[in-house]
Amino acid sequence: MKVLVTGGTSGLGRAMASALAAAGSSVVLTGRSGARAESVAAGLPGAAGVEMDVRDESSVARAVDRAWSRLGGIDMLVNNAGIGMRTVNPGFMTEPQGFWEVPPDAFRAVTDTNLTGYFLVARETTPRMLAAGGGRIVNISINHSTMRRAGFVPYGPSRAGSEALSRVMAADLRGTGVTVNLLLPGGATITGMLPPDVTPEGHGFLMPEVMGPPIVWLASDDAAGVHDERIVAAEFAPWLRDRARRQ
């Protein structure tokens, strides 16, 4: 499997890129810093790093073209690049802001990354997949409760938008050979999006590696044809058992 993982230099993206590479997929991971992307990729078997700013059409076009050439095609896109509330309000966990206190530039920055970024990368990749006869898109999401949590503007709305985008993408691509699915951790996860003063002890946080088993499965032959599913990584094993019973 030839996989492009956006935002693959840290957190969930790095965990998924690592799991995919370990399972034998050829991986290109992206980051705003090309040097950082290359450094992280150097630690993964057969992986490569590419600079991509998901907010910028020309950067996305260049990066997808490089990834396509490097991999010899793209079988799976993992739309993961995003920024969190920490960039808007460093104390969001303990001192939430009302939406009216959020600077418009901060709102735009998060939305441009978390929503428009998913659109731009999928828009650039999908025509190539259609021309190649198929492909898989996995959009990373969050819990519904986080989308409507007090103090979570603009992160909550940006992720709600990306989930709606994913559902529309799935509807548009039904029957084309290109599948679209959602994957989310299923709880607060230890990533760089958490405030620096929040420690994992006693909070029940998930580790980024929770994303490994479901993303590897979504890249497998067993997931061929799986379309428009919303998979919670923390509940993946029982979900998979239930799915097997239904078939």
Residue 206 has pLDDT above 60, yes or no: yes
pLDDT one-digit tens code per residue, 57-98: 999 999 999 999 999 999 999 999 999 988 888 988 889 999
How many Å apart are CA 214 and CA 121, to the nearest integer? 21
Overall size of the chain counted in residues: 247
How many Å apart are CA 79 and CA 88, to the nearest integer? 22
What pLDDT does residue 202 have? 43
How many Å apart are CA 108 and CA 103, to the nearest integer? 9
Among the listed residues 22, 2, 111, the one whose alpha carbon sits nearest the alpha carbon of residue 64 = 2
At residue 101 the predicted structure's pLDDT band, cuts being 50, 70 and 90, is: very high
SS3 202: coil
What pLDDT does residue 136 have? 98
**Average of per-residue pLDDT across 218-237:** 97
Token pair 């084309």 is at which residue?
176
- Looking from the CA of 73 toward its CB, the CA atoms found within 13 Å total 13
How many Å apart are CA 48 and CA 199, to the nearest integer? 32
At residue 201 the predicted structure's pLDDT band, cuts being 50, 70 and 90, is: very low
Beta-sheet pairing, 230-232 with 178-184: parallel
**Average of per-residue pLDDT across 128-152:** 96
Residue 232 has pLDDT above 90, yes or no: yes
SS3 136: strand
Provide the annotated active-site residues: 155
DSSP one-letter code for 96: P
Return the structure tokens found at 88.
């808007």
- DSSP per position, 133-184: T-EEEEEE---HHHHT-TT-TTHHHHHHHHHHHHHHHHHHHTTTTEEEEEEE
What pLDDT does residue 179 have? 98
Return the structure tokens found at 129.
């997949």
pTM of the model: 0.92
Give pairs for 126-130: CB < 8 Å, separation 24+: 126/169, 126/173, 126/178, 128/64, 128/68, 128/73, 128/74, 129/74, 129/77, 129/177, 129/178, 130/176, 130/177, 130/178
- Domain topology for 2-246: Rossmann fold (3.40.50)
The whole-chain average pLDDT of the chain stands at 93
What pLDDT does residue 203 have? 55
